[in-house]
Structure 1
């Protein structure tokens, strides 16, 4: 069964790095589970656990003895550990394996090929078969030309690799960086908006609109899937699902869906004004709730939303901090979890910094509310001081910031450093925070692919945190969005050398 065809398999990526797209794919005729949906109506192929349920990729292109990366992207949510064997199609020569654990939709995976293996794959094709996993694994095989990295492709290794920071904006500005609607896509959108704030060319603003246009139709109707790949059209799936509305409010404040997010917040608020995820209050809400609330408060001059945003930050300071310790989650029974997780600090600090930046530009608050904002600025300074003590000499942070043995985590590092840079921009933090952010930026250079994608990212905590402690790391466009936020804010700070779009 032919799933996708391309008349020309060579694709020029936005960062000017050429890749070779699969010319066509053949697989067994597996059906998408009834409760699930492939995003955007794109074509996907299932690789099943049964014999004969493999996927074969073919390329039309010159045979070259050139090392390359073979990449695929996930099309349906994965809730188990999966391994794919990769071999040549005609002679069955083993080439490598994909190690895929609890993957989210749009996550990229890659296997390094030697020059001889690249030539073999181009000559014979490549077969992907499931060697671990109980359910079919679905990968994208067809989609728009504007999203080449989300389709199977070969990325040749270059002996003269360009600066990956120069490739990052082009990669992020394409549809290759689209993520699941919610916190992951929100990180990308904020990266694009921050790049626009730094560059002011309109280029990245157009990319934000193109991204949002994938999820909203011409009538403003929202169409997307929740984190389990289940259709969630026309509704907000949870507190993490409101982050993209911050970007929507900035590029199209009159959009008919804006009121949907506001209604969700107001209907979900408890008597004390806090908005939780069921019975749990999480650090994510500083970024995914308080920040978009503050954006809308400024956009619509709504004092009630500004106060609600302040309340979210105050509640999280009270319930998630304990001296110099920060937790990701506070539970109804009084317990707390994910102690000193780097991405807990990421969401807490980035939410504080971004919300304060929006509220600082809000002109109609009473003095008492500005006093509350001043207290939150003090909390940003306190928490920033704590997290800077855990920064490694190289400039990054571990998965658990006080446990170096858990290994470096790049997305949390990027977000923490972006928050530090915004704090300097606000005048809340001093130059030492700016230099700490710059050290992070420089250290992240070694964790960017040649075409500008961040790797070294800890997997999402769908497996209750086990993967974070096992040293498992992924490529992540969500993480790329956070790196872009850091890069762009640093460009807006005076006196920091060598950073330009």
Structure 2
């Protein structure tokens, strides 16, 4: 059972927000924007750019974490030194690499360090990196994860899935509009379908409202923190329209998504990201396209959704190996990457689930759907060979030294569970999903965020292979999708 209200009270007690921020004012870089008009500060190398955080509430009884969250897109590796604000005692370093907006970072603290910090405050200094690191300093109290805070480590045991669902169903799970936020929105709506109660759906609605003005016009930033109001920034930016269509099927922005897809279609019907055809499109294009096809009863969108899956199957699969990207010169990259399987399989599973709900499709369309079901079964059989003893999948599924990766593992297991739900996969596969679910619980923080996620691939494959891991609301959304899928397919067995 999900005890949302009880867990809200519990989570409130473990967050201790910084109530004073001291820093020299600094202009946001030209062409960039802080989301929602929230307050942010720039942490730089000069003493004039050091940021100080202070607490009025003493914390002395338990260990925990210092947390900050990124407010502007980051395209480099930076390191932030944390020292106490009065006596300059060094507490530690925050290693922040290629971060996206809203990404939280944490530094583990002893009980003595927690007491010292809450008494003196801390000073943040950039010791590696070219440009200042922008962090959120003020925002809604409903999003404590995104504001500077101390996190108390609870002494009592807790249900990780209850905590995860609680945090997801809050403003702390906000992500940039696009594929990151889409994973969160789908997790919320999936939990609503599996659990009910209205709260998850209402939170999804609140999330979406953050990105639209009163006239229904999109107000947001692209992955580089550049304002792109009223536009669709790219193929990964259309995933949230699946949730929007389910919540507000008459919203005027839905036509923007359809117009974007139509404008980007190649002669064969495929939709590329510039010179690249990516596995992401199975999830970020085909799936929302299928949702709109169902709502608007448009067979042309059904046809286009199927084309996105069919063409990606033909271009991204080579000798049973799956690639994330196919380039116009015929080359491929990110072979056997976990999140390539994640986007490919999740896109297939979710798209097929929506299309199966549409009544009266032409026989030719149904035959194409059957072929795609076979492809989901094939790739499922292939990826299951690589499940680790821990129950998860490695960053590169065939390379154990790269370590397990939790977000891709969540999505793969979700796709498998949906495949069972649709009758495409055998029910005995649920044991694989159960194994993944059990192991993922170990990676849920005490306040309900998924850890063990590889960074976004802005820095290429090297960053994926080097063991670097982050906390992620996107990953939390994918884990919630698994939890919901398991509740739907095993309603009496998942607690």
1:134 pairs with one of 130, 137, 160: 130
From 314, 337, 341, give the equivalent of 2:337.
Answer: 341
On the 8 A contact 2:137/2:148 being kept in 1, the answer is: yes
Deviates more, 1:17-26 or 1:440-449: 17-26
Distance (Å, rounded) in 1 between the aligned partners of 2:119 and 2:78:
27
Offset, 1:51: 2.8
Match of 2:394 in 1: 398
Answer whether contact 2:403 2:467 (CA < 8 A) is retained.
yes
For residue 451 of structure 1, report the CA deviation from its aligned partner: 1.1
Q: Distance in 1 between matches of 2:206 and 2:10?
A: 15
Check whether the contact 1:13–1:19 (CA below 8 A) recurs between aligned residues: no
CA distance in 2, matches of 1:293, 1:410: 27
1:18 Cα offset (Å): 2.7
For the 8 Å contact 1:15–1:168, the answer to whether it is kept is no
Q: CA deviation at 1:442?
A: 0.4
The reply on whether 1:124 has 2:120 as its aligned counterpart is yes
What pairs up with 1:10-409 in 2 under 5 angstroms?
15=11, 17-409=13-405
Equivalent position to 1:475, from 471, 491, 494: 471
Distance (Å, rounded) in 1 between the aligned partners of 2:93 and 2:484: 36
Aligned to 1:437: 433
- Residue ranges of structure 1 left out of the alignment (5+ in a row): 1-10
Distance 1:15 1:435, change over 3 A: farther
- Distance across 2 between alignment mates of 1:150 and 1:422: 32
Is the 8 Å Cα contact of residues 490 and 496 (structure 1) preserved in structure 2?
A: no
Give per-residue Cα distances to partners, 1:376-410, cap 9 Å, x unaligned: 00000000000000001221000000011111110
Contact 1:191 1:484 in 2 (8 A): yes
Compute the displacement of 1:13 (Å).
6.0
What's the CA shift string for 1:72-103, capped at 9, x where partnerless?
A: 00000001100000011100000011000000
User: Could you tell me how far apart the structure 2 residues matched to 1:69 and 1:12 are?
Assistant: 19
SS at match of 2:158: coil
What does the per-residue CA deviation read over 1:177-199, in whole Å, with 9 as the maximum and x for residues that have no partner? Answer: 00010000000000001000101
Q: Secondary structure at the match of 1:201?
A: coil
* Equivalent pair of 2:8/2:166 in contact (CA under 8 Å): no
2:3 equivalent in structure 1: none
Question: How large is the Cα RMSD of the aligned pairs?
Answer: 1.2
The 4+ residue runs of structure 1 with deviation greater than 3 A are 11-17
Greater mean deviation of Cα atoms: 41-50 or 309-318: 41-50
Q: Deviation of residue 437 (structure 1)?
A: 1.0
Do the aligned partners of residues 35 and 163 (structure 1) sit closer, same or farther apart at CA in structure 2, a change above 3 Å counting? same
Q: Is the 8 A contact 2:235 2:273 kept in 1?
A: yes
Normalising by structure 2, report the TM-score.
0.97
State the distance in 1 between where 2:45 and 2:91 align: 19
Corresponding pairs, count: 489
Deviation at 1:62, TM superposition (A): 2.7
Cα-to-partner distance string for 1:227-272 (whole Å, 9 max, x where unaligned): 0000010000000000000000000000010000000000100010
Query: 1: CA distance between counterparts of 2:72 and 2:404?
Result: 28
2:454 maps to which residue?
Answer: 458
Tell me whether 369-378 or 155-164 shows the greater mean CA deviation.
155-164
SS of residue matched to 1:416: helix
Q: Structure 1: how far apart are the matches of 2:68 and 2:342? A: 28
